[in-house]
Amino acid sequence: MAVVFEVVVRLVIKDSMANNPNHQSLCRRRRRQSREQKSINQQQQHEQKHRQQQPKYYEFDQMPEYLRFNQWIHSGYRSPQLSTIECLKSCFELHNETMNIWTHLLSILYILYNFRTIFITKFYNSKLIYFHIISCLSSWIGSLLYHIFMNHRLGRKIYYPLLKIDMFGIWITQTFGALTTIQASLIMFDESFRLYFSVIYLAISMVVLYECLQAKESWQRSTSFSILFLMRLICFMIRLRTHYNPNQMSLLLKIFKYRHIIGQEIWPIIGAIIASTKIPERFFHNGQFDYFLNSHNIMHCLVVMGGLHMHWSFTDDIQFFIN
């Protein structure tokens, strides 16, 4: 009897709930949420299975077109479908961008760690120190962001903005990093002439910025900075003629005296030439330069050397101003 009574009560409750609109709406909402959760779980399982089937590193022919910029680097490419976290994790993995990442990352960390000893307190009397600090860090930060996130799964939508950030950092170094050298080279002229020359240099640099951001090929981006180099070369020749008597120092002594000015210009130029000609990997087809010491790796190392000489040249020029 008790069992029959319990069954009847359950049927009555079930019937009353079935006729309740709120209960029906709640049931439909729960079924919809259940279907959505099931769909999400299936999608996650599919992505996980797809990720497990993907190779850890790719060959050149497997990469999308916008990431094929060196046909002589055959292997070691990261997946072009990396998430933001995976891009960051790849900094601690071995692939063909590892050396490009760490050459600049170590340089940034070194500057930040030794900031107080690198930038001596007495230099802060000159406003040029702030341009110099920005110039030292900007190209390395821009390049670092580019090489870390270039394989992000957003593809072209993020690749080309990253490339422009990289070029913008280089432009900052080329433009503002040269102001100290220009001022020191033209110190024998009056202040108004130095100001006019600096304004002209900055105006031309704006045109250079537009050209390098619009360039389609790597060699076009490199050569767009050539006019700024020529202006700095003119300043250097003026320095040689005005700072010392031409007969007072031999050529070797002049080269040694201005080795940092020469180094800040020559090392990046050599690096750009090596990167454009794809040496040495173009002469070796067995992939032995895929991970280390390919042309882009060498260019990064030479750019770091150029940055060191730029800093040493700056300290010499500020000391020259003080004296």
108-122 per-position pLDDT tens digit: 998 888 877 777 666
The per-residue pLDDT for 1 is 56
73 and 44 in one domain?
no
> 218 or 313: whose pLDDT is higher?
313
- Please state whether 293 falls in left (phi above 0), alpha (psi between -120 and 50) or beta: left
The per-residue pLDDT for 180 is 87
Calculate the average pLDDT of the chain. 84
156 and 120 in one domain?
yes
> Which pair of structure tokens corresponds to residue 129?
């120190």
Residue with tokens 């709930």: 17
> 34 or 134: whose pLDDT is higher?
134
Using the predicted structure, report yes or no on whether residue 79 has a pLDDT greater than 90: yes
User: Which residues carry a binding-site annotation?
Assistant: 147, 296, 300
65 and 48 in one domain?
no
44 and 170 in one domain?
no
The per-residue pLDDT for 153 is 95
71 and 46 in one domain?
no
CA trace torsion 46, 50, 53, 55 (10° rounding) = -160
Count of domains observed in the chain: 2
The per-residue pLDDT for 235 is 93
- When mean pLDDT is compared across 11-25, 73-87, 240-254, 267-281, the lowest value belongs to 11-25
187 and 276 in one domain?
yes
Neighbours of 85 (CB within 10 A): 8
191 and 63 in one domain?
yes
Of 11, 35, 52, the residue at which a domain comes to its end is 52
- When mean pLDDT is compared across 37-46, 287-296, 311-320, the lowest value belongs to 37-46
Q: Which long-range contacts (CB under 8 A, 24 or more apart) does 125-128 make?
A: 126/318, 126/321, 128/179, 128/180, 128/183, 128/314, 128/318
**Contact by Cβ (8 Å): 222, 268:** no
Q: What separation, in Å, do the N-terminal and C-terminal C-alpha atoms of the chain show?
A: 112
Using the predicted structure, report yes or no on whether residue 26 has a pLDDT greater than 90: no
11 and 101 in one domain?
no
**Contact by Cβ (8 Å): 138, 172:** yes
The per-residue pLDDT for 9 is 47
Using the predicted structure, report yes or no on whether residue 45 has a pLDDT greater than 90: no
> Which pair of structure tokens corresponds to residue 284?
């070796």
234 and 203 in one domain?
yes
Q: Which band of pLDDT confidence, cut at 50, 70 and 90, is reported for residue 15?
A: low
Q: Which band of pLDDT confidence, cut at 50, 70 and 90, is reported for residue 255?
A: confident
60 and 34 in one domain?
no
d(CA 73, CA 96): 8
User: Which residues carry a binding-site annotation for Zn(2+)?
Assistant: 147, 296, 300
64 and 36 in one domain?
no
Q: Which band of pLDDT confidence, cut at 50, 70 and 90, is reported for residue 268?
A: very high
> 129 or 203: whose pLDDT is higher?
203
Residue 47 belongs to domain spanning: 2-52
219 and 78 in one domain?
yes
CATH code assigned at 87 = 1.20.1070
Q: What is the mean pLDDT of residues 35-59?
A: 67
Of 52, 67, 89, the residue at which a domain comes to its end is 52
